[in-house]
């Protein structure tokens, strides 16, 4: 639901010529949205592979560090494309986004999804050499994987819901 009292910054961003061009273009907005969806698929898909490995559900014979090392570059490409396209989509609809509950939930979940790997890599992953090839990984690694899968599922669902609020 769009709120009537949109903060000045959101209204200003919404009203810039750049945002207006994106929003009113028959091709630009859908193209950016397509890039955004593909980037989220790349990011969430690569994150899911690592998470499922941490849970011992896929690639069990592969060391966690090897799986993560091979997938991380693709994850960063997905993140960069998702971030840039997401900012462009937000600019095009900043005033509308401000009052959108689904948008707010998505942003909150994105913050939490960003904190999850920061905490994981600064704690349990520092000792990856100790547990890299074990059948059962540390509980903290599994909790981080479950949190990640849950957060990214929520982000995708909230992102889809933005159009309907």
Mean pLDDT of the chain: 91
Full-model pTM: 0.86
* Percent share of the chain, pLDDT over 70: 98
Which has the closest alpha carbon to 145: 156, 133, 137?
A: 137
Among 53-62, 83-92, 150-159, the range scoring the smallest mean pLDDT is 53-62
Are residues 132 and 41 in contact, defined by beta-carbon separation less than 8 angstroms?
no
Which has the closest alpha carbon to 93: 150, 36, 139?
A: 36
Summarize the confidence of residues 27-32 as an average pLDDT. 95
Residue in the block written with tokens 């999804």 = 113
CA 146 to chain centre: 15
Q: List pLDDT tens digits, range 138-157.
A: 999 999 999 999 999 999 99
Which has the closest alpha carbon to 91: 9, 154, 7, 2?
A: 9
Q: Which residue would you say has higher pLDDT here, 5 or 162?
A: 162
Q: Which residue would you say has higher pLDDT here, 135 or 103?
A: 103
Q: List pLDDT tens digits, range 91-104.
A: 999 888 888 999 99
Summarize the confidence of residues 63-86 as an average pLDDT. 95
Q: Residue 3 has what pLDDT?
A: 43
């Amino acid at each position: 639901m769009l709120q009537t009292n949109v903060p000045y910054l959101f209204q200003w961003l919404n009203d810039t010529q750049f945002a207006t061009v994106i929003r009113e273009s028959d091709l630009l907005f859908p193209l950016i949205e397509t890039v955004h969806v593909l980037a989220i698929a790349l990011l969430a898909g690569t994150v899911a592979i690592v998470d499922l490995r941490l849970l011992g559900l896929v690639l069990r014979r592969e060391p966690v560090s090897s799986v993560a090392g091979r997938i991380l570059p693709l994850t960063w490409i997905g993140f960069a494309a998702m971030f840039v396209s997401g900012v462009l989509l937000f600019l095009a609809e900043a005033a509308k986004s401000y009052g959108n509950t689904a948008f707010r939930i998505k942003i909150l979940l994105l913050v939490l999804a960003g904190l999850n790997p920061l905490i994981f890599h600064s704690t349990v992953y520092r000792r990856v050499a100790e547990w890299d090839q074990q059948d059962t990984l540390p509980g903290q690694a599994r909790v981080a994987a479950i949190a990640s899968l849950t957060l990214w599922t929520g982000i995708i669902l909230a992102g889809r819901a933005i159009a309907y609020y």
